């Protein structure tokens, strides 16, 4: 197979603040909703208090990134480390920490690629404003974004505003600290979602205004859905599942408004968000420079009709929710699954990349793609993760095919650079190229151990995408 990766391709890896940093309340950092949710699970799995302890191991970890050969590191800044209560005083020690990260990355010739918001709203804003339901949260985020541009923008030119807004607004555990009745939940979700779009637009516009030569865009949880059969309604259902879970958001980011099918749904379900007249100009102006794609799996859908009991717009499960009058999620009998149930489908990545590029004609970068599974440390202190190597090889090949198809793919940043705290399975579910020697309730020595996949990916980067080793 010919190698189609361009010479300037960004080989990298990813993480997020609450899943890697630890030091959850150190040096003035405030509590986040991610902390809140993790503490509720502390008896059964690890929480954010230590995580991978990147806060105290960043020099060692960035040296390992350099050894791996990474061209870019996609990571997030904790809003509550910069502004502990979300909209109050700025914490200089938080700025100092990220300055050290950015400077060391640049010293190692690794491009910092920063996400401003990765599931970790300052908890004080949930208490004060009910989070994103309030317009005040939008303005607080704009101030946070501008603060980051002001203090880091002289060295950081590549940004993501938020991570997986399209998924975030649908996950109950990320909603359950808010004051929301079950009856009113869908209206509140729709309002929060809309306010996040406005915040995204304001942050995008500010980035373009404040940082010359900057590039910024959203990161979406990608969705590719196959029809359960060749029945016309199943084909429509598959398309609508993609539309409702991802494409409506990309349309808003790229075109500044909801598509017609989504407006119609909001209207009929009586959950249309409150919009301000000035928002139209703000949203239309906020043109992204790129789209970041987080890809793990594909889905299958069949048509789910309404009945007398279930009327238009009724949701019946999470996260892959079904919608009466639209779609029902089915299992794909033709795919293997990971230990935690995600069906593995490299061809789906090629299809997603083609879909998004053909629709939006913007450069794409993969900012999450990886295999989460338990890893075993052998008696001689090694991790033989051939299963992860197989996963990566197949998905990198799909990227190569997509580039050959004509997709402008500029980078590949798997999840994750080192083992990080999984939101749902703590440290049982591992993604990294580097093993962190700890368990959920035993910190051990937190040693960093290169897995076999580390050496595989190192060779991939050295050879700009060749994967046959």
The residues annotated as belonging to the active site are 164, 368
Which of 143, 247, 137 is closest to 191 using CA atoms? Answer: 137
Can you say whether residue 243 is alpha, beta or left, with left for phi > 0 and alpha for psi between -120 and 50 degrees?
Answer: alpha
With tokens 């928002």, the residue in question is 279
Tell me how crowded residue 442 is: count the other CB atoms within 10 A of its CB.
Answer: 9
Q: Retrieve residue 331's tokens.
A: 């299992």
Torsion angle of the four alpha carbons 256, 257, 259, 264, in this order, in degrees rounded to the nearest 10: 170
Residues 6+ apart with CB under 8 A from 390: none
SS3 151: helix
Cα–Cα distance, 263 to 277 (Å, whole number) = 17
Tell me how crowded residue 307 is: count the other CB atoms within 10 A of its CB.
Answer: 10
SS3 118: coil
Tell whether omega for the bond before 439 is within 30 degrees of 0, i.e. cis. Answer: no
For helices 386-405 and 452-462, angle between their N-to-C axes, nearest 10 degrees: 30
* Bridge partners (DSSP) listed for residue 291: 364
For 6, half-sphere exposure in the C-beta direction (CA atoms, 13 angstrom radius) is 12
List C-alpha distances in Å: 422 to 71, 73, 158, 340.
25, 19, 26, 12
Cα–Cα distance, 41 to 49 (Å, whole number) = 12
């Amino acid at each position: 197979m010919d190698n189609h990766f361009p010479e300037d391709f960004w080989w990298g890896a990813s993480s997020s603040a609450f899943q890697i940093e630890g030091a959850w309340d150190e040096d003035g950092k405030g509590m986040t909703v991610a902390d809140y949710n993790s503490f509720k699970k502390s008896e059964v799995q690890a929480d954010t208090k230590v995580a991978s302890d990147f806060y105290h191991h960043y020099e060692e970890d960035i040296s390992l990134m350099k050894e791996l050969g990474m061209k870019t590191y996609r990571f997030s800044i904790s809003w509550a480390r910069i502004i502990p209560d979300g909209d109050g005083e700025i914490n200089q020690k938080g700025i100092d920490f990220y300055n050290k990260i950015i400077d060391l990355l640049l010293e190692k010739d690794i491009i910092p690629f920063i996400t401003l918001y990765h599931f970790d709203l300052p908890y004080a804003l949930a208490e004060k404003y009910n989070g994103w339901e309030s317009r005040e949260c939008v303005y607080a985020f704009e101030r946070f974004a501008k603060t980051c541009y002001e203090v880091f923008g002289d060295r950081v030119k590549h940004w993501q505003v938020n991570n997986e807004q399209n998924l975030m607004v649908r996950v109950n555990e990320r909603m359950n600290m808010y004051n929301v009745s079950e009856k009113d939940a869908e209206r509140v979700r729709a309002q929060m979602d809309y306010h996040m779009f406005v915040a995204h637009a304001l942050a995008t516009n500010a980035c373009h205004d404040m940082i010359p030569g900057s590039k910024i865009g959203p990161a979406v949880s990608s969705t590719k859905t196959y029809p359960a059969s060749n029945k016309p309604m199943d084909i429509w259902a598959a398309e609508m599942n993609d539309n409702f879970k991802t494409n409506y958001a990309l349309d808003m980011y790229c075109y500044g408004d909801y598509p017609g099918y989504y407006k119609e749904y909001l209207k009929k379900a009586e959950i249309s968000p409150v919009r301000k007249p000035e928002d139209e100009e703000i949203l239309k102006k906020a043109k992204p420079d790129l789209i970041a794609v987080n890809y793990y799996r594909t889905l299958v859908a069949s048509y789910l009709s309404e009945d007398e009991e279930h009327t238009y717009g009724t949701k019946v499960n999470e996260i892959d929710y079904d919608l009466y009058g639209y779609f029902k999620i089915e299992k794909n009998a033709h795919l293997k699954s990971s230990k935690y149930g995600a069906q593995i489908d490299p061809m789906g990545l090629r299809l997603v990349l083609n879909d998004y590029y053909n629709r939006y004609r913007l450069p794409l970068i993969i900012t999450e793609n990886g295999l989460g599974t338990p890893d075993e440390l052998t008696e001689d202190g090694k991790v033989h993760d051939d299963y992860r190597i197989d996963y990566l090889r197949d998905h990198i090949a799909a990227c190569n095919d997509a580039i050959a198809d004509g997709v402008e793919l500029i980078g590949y940043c798997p999840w994750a650079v080192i083992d990080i705290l999984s939101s749902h399975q703590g440290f049982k579910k591992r993604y990294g190229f580097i093993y962190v020697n700890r368990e959920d309730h035993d910190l051990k020595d937190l040693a960093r151990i290169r897995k076999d996949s580390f050496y595989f990916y190192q060779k991939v980067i050295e050879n700009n995408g060749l994967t046959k080793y």
